[in-house]
Every structure is written in C-alpha cells, then in structure tokens.
C-alpha cells in the first residue's frame, strides 16, 4: 500500500526539523565549532583552521595551565579569542626576555613558535582566584593578557576548551 505524498513530505520535514534542533542543542550546550581568524596560535593552530570547543569545560573549574581556550575578548564586545592558559588563579607569572616564569620556575614551552624570537617582558603578577592568564603560542603576534588592564581573564568569560582541529583534513587531530 503506497504512502501518501503529503505524509512523506511531513515525515521529511519532521526529520529535518529534528536534525536542526539536535545540531542547535549540541552547539548551544556541548560542542561549538570555531574558525581561527589570526596567527596568534601558530604553530599549534593556523589561521583558517576550524576547531571544536568543549562548552562543558567553561564553568566546570577544570581549566588548567596549558589548556587552549576560546573566550569572550575582554575589551572587544562580540569578539571571541583563542589562547593558551599560562597561569591560573593563585599563580604568580612573570616574563623575562620571552621566558615565562610561573611561581619562580622557568617554564619549558615546546608549543611556542620557534621561528620567532620573543624578547618581551611582563612584571611579576599574581593572578586572582577565578581568573586565568592567557597568551598566544605566537608570542610576537598575539594580543593577549600581557596587554590588558587588568592582565587576566575571568573564568566566566571562557566559552570552552578547544580540543580538536577538524579542518583542513591534513591538520585534523586532537589539540594540547
């Protein structure tokens, strides 16, 4: 017994509406795609790369040093940034001629762009609880916490943790 055309059309519309609702729910609450607009995270993430962000990690308190996060830019409404967490609340950070020092210990940062010599300085600063200090991996081409006032980011500005590059295919893989 053949189905009616009207019933087939209604079923198709229902399937499409369900798929759209599922995608909206995933993007609003679980995983959000982002496209990288700048060179601030080279060589880890290139301009034009598309990444996935875990939105569940934005307020769960599990943001740690080394995480790559997407957040609302502190002084640019409507703009999102992607940077690496360098220090968390309670840490004292300092940068001397490009060398990051956390709580008095020089850090080994093998993710920093090796092609560019960073000679920047940043005075010793203790990050308040509930905040993080972020920097781009391409230190000489990154508008990050070193240039903000105050020089930290409230954790409630974090959209989520970047965890996967999905485009272009040759760069596909996990981050961190």
Domain for residue 25, yes or no? no
Domain for residue 164, yes or no? yes
- Residue 134's pLDDT band, with cuts at 50, 70 and 90, is very high
Domain for residue 157, yes or no? yes
Task: Choose among 43, 150, 46, 37: nearest CA to 93.
Answer: 150
CA distance 49 to 62: 25
Residue 60 has pLDDT above 60, yes or no: no
Residue scoring higher pLDDT (34 or 30) = 34
CB 89 within 8 A of CB 130: yes
Residue scoring higher pLDDT (22 or 87) = 87
Q: What is the mean pLDDT of residues 111-140?
A: 92
Residue in 57, 60, 72, 83 annotated catalytic: 83
How far, in Å, are 29, 30, 33, 165, 166 from residue 25 at the CA level?
6, 8, 13, 21, 20
Number of folded domains that form the chain = 1
142 catalytic per annotation:
no
Residue in 40, 57, 142, 161 annotated catalytic: 40
Q: What is the mean pLDDT of residues 128-155?
A: 94
- Quick one: pLDDT at residue 26? 66
Domain for residue 7, yes or no? no
Alpha helices, DSSP H, located in the chain: 5-29
Q: What is the mean pLDDT of residues 37-52?
A: 94
Q: What is the mean pLDDT of residues 122-144?
A: 94
Domain for residue 15, yes or no? no
Structure pTM? 0.83
CB 67 within 8 A of CB 82: no
Q: For tokens 């509406």, what's the residue?
A: 17
- Residue 8's pLDDT band, with cuts at 50, 70 and 90, is confident
- Residue 126's pLDDT band, with cuts at 50, 70 and 90, is very high
Question: What would the two tokens of residue 72 be?
Answer: 């609302």
Domain for residue 29, yes or no? no
| 140 HSE (CA, 13 A, CB side) | 9
Q: What is the mean pLDDT of residues 8-17?
A: 85
Percent of the chain with pLDDT over 90: 62
40 catalytic per annotation:
yes
Strand partners, 125: 93
CATH number for the domain including 77?
Answer: 2.10.109.10
DSSP 146: G
Domain for residue 151, yes or no? yes
- Quick one: pLDDT at residue 173? 93
- Quick one: pLDDT at residue 61? 61
Q: Residue 59 sits in which domain range? A: 35-174
CA distance 75 to 25: 29
Domain for residue 50, yes or no? yes
- Residue 57's pLDDT band, with cuts at 50, 70 and 90, is low
Question: What would the two tokens of residue 27 be?
Answer: 């993007």
Question: What would the two tokens of residue 3 be?
Answer: 């189905």
Task: Choose among 87, 83, 109: nearest CA to 98.
Answer: 109
Q: What is the mean pLDDT of residues 57-71?
A: 80
């Amino acid at each position: 017994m053949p189905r009616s055309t009207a019933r087939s059309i209604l079923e198709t519309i229902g399937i499409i509406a369900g798929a759209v609702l599922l995608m909206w729910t995933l993007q609003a609450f679980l995983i959000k795609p982002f496209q990288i607009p700048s060179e601030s995270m080279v060589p880890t993430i290139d301009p034009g790369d598309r990444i996935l962000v875990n939105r569940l990690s934005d307020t769960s308190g599990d943001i740690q040093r080394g995480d790559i996060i997407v957040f609302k830019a502190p002084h640019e409404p409507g703009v999102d940034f992607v940077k690496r967490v360098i220090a968390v609340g309670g840490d004292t950070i300092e940068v001397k001629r490009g060398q990051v020092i956390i709580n008095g210990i020089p850090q080994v940062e093998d993710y920093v762009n090796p092609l560019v010599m960073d000679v920047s300085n940043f005075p010793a600063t203790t990050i308040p609880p509930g905040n993080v200090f972020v920097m781009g991996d391409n230190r000489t081409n990154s508008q990050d916490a070193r240039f903000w006032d105050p020089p930290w980011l409230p954790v409630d500005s974090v959209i989520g943790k970047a965890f996967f590059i999905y485009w272009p295919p040759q760069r596909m893989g996990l981050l961190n």
